[in-house]
Amino acid sequence: MDTETTDKYIEAGKTAKKAIELAKKIVKPGVSILETAQKIESEIMKNNAQIAFPVNISANDFAAHDTAFPNDTRVFRDDDIIKIDIGVHIDGYIADTAVTICFDNSKADLVKASEKALENALKIACPGTNIGDIGKTIQETIESFGYKPVSNLSGHYLGQYMIHTGTSIPNIETNTDVVLKEGDAIAIEPFATDGAGAIRDGSRVGIYRFLENKSVRLQSARKLLQFVQKNYSTLPFAARWLKEPRGFMLDAALKQLVQAGALHEYPVLKEVGNGMVAQAEHTVLVFDKPIVTTV
């Protein structure tokens, strides 16, 4: 990894950290989820960076991929355990970071389990480390608190304009011959739960990604696809970012584009045992002295 690329990863990380700090200040009971998402994303843009993916705001037994919807009326509740997952990029070089906010501290140990697992994993994120050992460290740490890692969620390698490059960083012990290499960019993100230890797709979808140009019947869908291809050709986008069509016409256009294979959808991810989920995440540049860009 050359110096210019490293610097861009680091700058993206600085902005991601600012956005996380803002989230910690503004996420409170009674506050609008839609306004929170808009404020966090505005914080990214005002720092001369770009949004790598819509801010994920996932509560309780929803682990990830939830975000505010158009005209979303939801507010944070007193007993919520909230995961805020933020992606920032500069020229495609991405910082991915997350924090869990618990208002009444009833799940403080669960939050601590995910944070400690991340802390321990970061200690071994060096060239030559087998990624299975990272998963083992995460699993053992979370289990030492009496909880379970979410087995089918993982961290990931990062590429330019690519949030997931295809190789995952496991959150459980895994047999693999993949080792970290000098200059790798990775996101490590332990998920801890008091539930069954796995997630499934939920029914709600607010995040999409362009796949390829396809022929579709609805004129509104054709226009939407042209707009998406022009403005969000590589990274995920939120339905709430789209100004037209609106209402049920937007829903119909998105559905048709997904069915045609033009868009990929990211359903919310729900813990299969209805357990509460906590998440912690940082982005790391792998060197002999690793650079954690998001702290």
> Catalytic residue numbers?
85, 96, 156, 164, 189, 281
The reply to whether omega before 149 is within 30° of 0 (cis) is: no
According to DSSP, the β-strands at 191-193 and 237-238 are unpaired
Q: Which two tokens stand for residue 246?
A: 């609106």
What are residue 131's DSSP bridge partners?
Answer: none
Cα 112 → chain centroid? 19
Q: Where are the alpha helices (DSSP H) in the chain?
A: 3-26, 33-46, 108-123, 131-144, 219-231, 247-259
How many CB atoms within 10 Å of residue 53? Answer: 22
How many CB atoms within 10 Å of residue 264? Answer: 13
Question: In degrees, to the nearest 5, what angle opens at C-alpha 262 toward C-alphas 217 and 151?
Answer: 140
Distance (Å, whole) CA 145 – CA 140: 9
- Which residue matches tokens 């080792």? 179
Phi and psi (nearest 5°) for 254?
A: -65, -45
What are residue 59's DSSP bridge partners?
Answer: 82
Q: Where are the alpha helices (DSSP H) in 27-50?
A: 33-46
Amino acid present at 168: S
Q: For the chain, what is the total number of helices (H) and then of strands (E)?
A: 6, 15
